[in-house]
Chains A and B, each alone.
Chain A
Amino acid sequence: MSERTYERLNVFKTYKLYVGGKFPRSESGRVYEVSDAKGNWLANAPLSSRKDARDAVVAARKAFGGWAGATAYNRGQILYRVAEMLEGRREQFVREVADAEGLSKSKAAAQVDAAIDRWVWYAGWTDKIAQVVGGGNPVAGPYFNLSSPEPTGVVVVLAPQESSFLGLVSVLAPVIATGNTAIVIAGEKSPLPALSLGEVLATSDVPGGVVNILSGRTAEIAPPLAAHQDVNAIDLAGADEVLAKELEIAAADNLKRVLRPQSVDNAHWFTTPGTERMTAFLETKTVWHPTGSLGAGGSSY
Chain B
Amino acid sequence: MPTTASTALPLKDVTTSNSTLRRYLHGLPGVDAVGLEARAASLGTRSIKTTAKAYAIDLAISMVDLTTLEGADTPGKVRSLGAKAVRPDPTDRTAPATAAVCVYPDMVAVAKESVAGSTVKVASVATAFPAGRAALPVKLADVRDAVAAGADEIDMVIDRGAFLAGNYLKVYEEIVAVKEACGASARLKVIFETGELSTYDNIRRASWLGMIAGADFIKTSTGKVAVNATPANTLLMLEAVRDFRAQTGVQVGVKPAGGIRTTKDAIKFLVLVNETAGADWLDNHWFRFGASSLLNDLLMQRQKLTTGRYSGPDYVTVD
Contact = CB atoms under 8 A, between A and B. Distances in A.
Interface of A: 54, 57, 61, 224, 227-231, 250, 253
B313 A230 contact: yes
A185 to B, nearest CB: 15
Residue with the greatest number of chain A CB neighbours at <10 A, chosen from B309, B310, B314: B310
A230 B309 contact: no
* Main SS at interface, chain B: loop
A176 B192 CA distance: 48
B310 A253 contact: no
Contact of B312 (A224, A228, A250): A228
B309 A228 contact: yes
B313 A227 contact: no
Interface of B: 308-315
Contacts of A57: 310, 312
A230 B315 CA distance: 9
9 contacts: A57-B312, A61-B312, A224-B309, A224-B310, A227-B310, A228-B309, A230-B310, A230-B312, A230-B314
Given A57-B310, A227-B308, A230-B312, 15 more contacts: A54-B310, A61-B312, A227-B309, A227-B310, A228-B312, A229-B310, A229-B311, A229-B314, A230-B310, A230-B311, A230-B313, A230-B314, A231-B312, A250-B309, A253-B309
A257 to B, nearest CB: 15
Contacts of A54: 310
Contacts of A250: 309
Contacts of B311: 229-230
A157 to B, nearest CB: 18
A289 B146 CA distance: 50
Contacts of A229: 309-312, 314-315
The 3 A-B pairs with the shortest beta carbon distances in the complex, nearest first, are A230-B312, A227-B309, A229-B312
A151 to B, nearest CB: 16
Nearest to B309: A227
A230 B304 CA distance: 12
A231 B309 CA distance: 11
Contacts of B314: 229-230
B261 to A, nearest CB: 12
Contacts of B315: 229
Residue with the greatest number of chain B CB neighbours at <10 A, chosen from A227, A228, A229, A250: A229
A54 B312 CA distance: 10
A227 B312 CA distance: 11
A255 to B, nearest CB: 11
B316 to A, nearest CB: 10
Contacts of A61: 312-313
A289 B105 CA distance: 46
Nearest to A225: B310
B43 to A, nearest CB: 20
A57 B312 CA distance: 10
A215 B101 CA distance: 44
A229 B299 CA distance: 13
B157 to A, nearest CB: 33
Contacts of B309: 224, 227-229, 250, 253
Nearest to B312: A230
A183 to B, nearest CB: 12
B45 to A, nearest CB: 14
A184 B314 CA distance: 22
A224 B304 CA distance: 11
Residue with the greatest number of chain A CB neighbours at <10 A, chosen from B309, B311, B313, B315: B309
Contacts of A227: 308-310
B265 to A, nearest CB: 15
B153 to A, nearest CB: 34
A231 B312 CA distance: 8
Nearest to B313: A230
A228 B307 CA distance: 11
B307 to A, nearest CB: 9
A57 B314 CA distance: 14
B141 to A, nearest CB: 44
A61 B311 CA distance: 13
A226 B319 CA distance: 28
A83 B177 CA distance: 70
Contacts of A230: 310-314
A250 B309 CA distance: 9
B107 to A, nearest CB: 31
Contacts of A231: 312
A57 B300 CA distance: 14
Residue with the greatest number of chain B CB neighbours at <10 A, chosen from A224, A230, A253: A230
A294 to B, nearest CB: 40
A230 B300 CA distance: 11
A198 B311 CA distance: 27
A229 B300 CA distance: 10
A253 B310 CA distance: 12
A108 to B, nearest CB: 38
Nearest to A230: B312
Contacts of A228: 309-310, 312
B319 to A, nearest CB: 18
Contacts of B313: 61, 230
A132 B314 CA distance: 31
A54 B297 CA distance: 13
A250 B311 CA distance: 13
Nearest to B310: A228
A224 B315 CA distance: 17
